[in-house]
Amino acid sequence: MFENKIRDFNKLKKLLDENQEIFNYIQKNNDDSLLIELKNEVESTLTLSEKIRYLNLLNDEADHLNSFIEIHAGAGGTESQDWAQMLQRMYFRWAESQENCKVILLQEMRGEEAGIKSCTLKIIMDYSYGWLKAESGIHRLVRISPFDSNKRRHTSFASVWAYPEIDDKIEIEIKESDLRIDTYRASGAGGQHVNKTDSAVRITHVPTNIVVQCQSDRSQHKNKSNAMKMIKSRIYEKELQKRKEDENTKNKDKKDIGWGHQIRSYVLHPYKLIKDLRSGYETSNVNDVLDGKIDKFLENSLTL
């Protein structure tokens, strides 16, 4: 990753030098015709500078890794399940808007009427975990329910959990006796073969009660392999959280933003406002945010 930082520095320095050359030429020749070009170049340089600044904030141990995103609907049946699917779509759209990013749906449990009860996404991109780690927590939605014939306002909750995909350099030891491995028939789309065979895999790590599921492939072997990676990643993330909690205990001024706390409120009625309850950043462009434009929230979370 140091090579990328050096590359970004050299690219930024080159742009600054080019801007300086254009500015010097304008001053020397009193030529205002290049002012628009200089303005555009300066704006491009500032955009790159901001991007590099945020990347430099992604300096925790696991920030550079790929990430898993788990979404679980809260209590409330169809309402919360629909909200969980809206969040799933939001993260899909965000991933699709990023350069060199790939998103895979590893597991999904559909709701009886609409939405999803849970899902697991794998987002493959440099610094994916660093960008998304602050999304862990409770996301709250307030809206007029599309499932309520009386058009009443409903509040729904869904939980999001981001954790890193560990790479081969990180060794996590797991005793085989600590694992319970179950197979079952995959639900939802996937074709007749997926639905007729026990290809889906659920692994429980008994000491920690961590449970992961994978049904993205028709091969039970591949699903088991992916589920083992997820288990190791969850245990690794648990250790990272333990270290962070130890640090926070030493510094009482730090806010607890860990798993299990409400982090963001999405209000669609009686007004439109999405507000992050930690950074204080808010926007009324709710449609853009739900369409995946969450970068400002992610950027502000890096400065907490």
* Residue 235 and residue 135 share a domain: no
- Angstrom distance (rounded) from CA 119 to CA 160: 10
Same domain flag for 161 and 262: yes
Q: Is the dihedral of CA 91, 294, 246, 172 positive or negative?
A: positive
Residues 132 and 271 in one domain: yes
Together in a domain, 147 and 261: yes
Is 59 buried (19+), middle (13-18) or exposed (0-12) by CB count in 10 A?
exposed
CB 264 within 8 A of CB 296: no
What the block records as the tokens of 252 is 């009482």
Q: What is the pLDDT of residue 270?
A: 92
- pLDDT of 192 > 50? The answer is no
Q: Which of 22, 39, 57 is the last residue of a domain?
A: 57
**CATH number of the domain to which 199 belongs:** 3.30.160.20
- Rounded to two decimals, the pTM is 0.74
Q: pLDDT per residue over 26-82, tens digit each?
A: 888 888 888 888 899 999 899 888 888 888 889 888 899 999 999 999 988 899 999
62 within a domain of the structure (yes/no): no
CATH number, residue 73: 3.30.70.1660
Check whether residue 141 and residue 274 sit in a common domain.
Answer: yes
Say if residue 273's pLDDT is above 90. Answer: yes
Q: Do both 103 and 222 map to the same domain?
A: no
Residue 210 covered by a domain: yes
What would the pLDDT profile of 140-190 be if each residue is shown by its tens digit?
Answer: 999 998 988 888 899 999 999 999 998 766 778 888 899 999 998 876 554
Element (H, E) at 110: strand 102-110
Q: Which pLDDT belongs to residue 193?
A: 43
Q: Are residues 214 and 267 in the same domain?
A: no
| Nearest by Cα to 227 from 277, 280, 181, 168 | 181
Q: Which residues contact 173 (CB under 8 A, 6 or more apart)?
A: none
Q: Are residues 295 and 273 in the same domain?
A: yes
3: pLDDT strictly greater than 60: yes
143 with 282, same domain?
Answer: yes
Domain count, the chain: 3
Last residue of a domain, one of 18, 38, 57: 57
Unique residue bearing structure tokens 């696991």 = 62
Q: Where is average pLDDT lowest: 114-118, 165-169, 206-210, 291-295? A: 165-169
Residues 154, 265: one domain? yes
Which range marks the domain in which residue 151 is found? 67-166+256-301
Q: Which amino acid is at 78?
A: T
Tell me if 171 is assigned to some domain. no
- From residue 117, how far is each of 122, 187, 195, 207, 212 by CA, in Å? 17, 12, 18, 25, 14
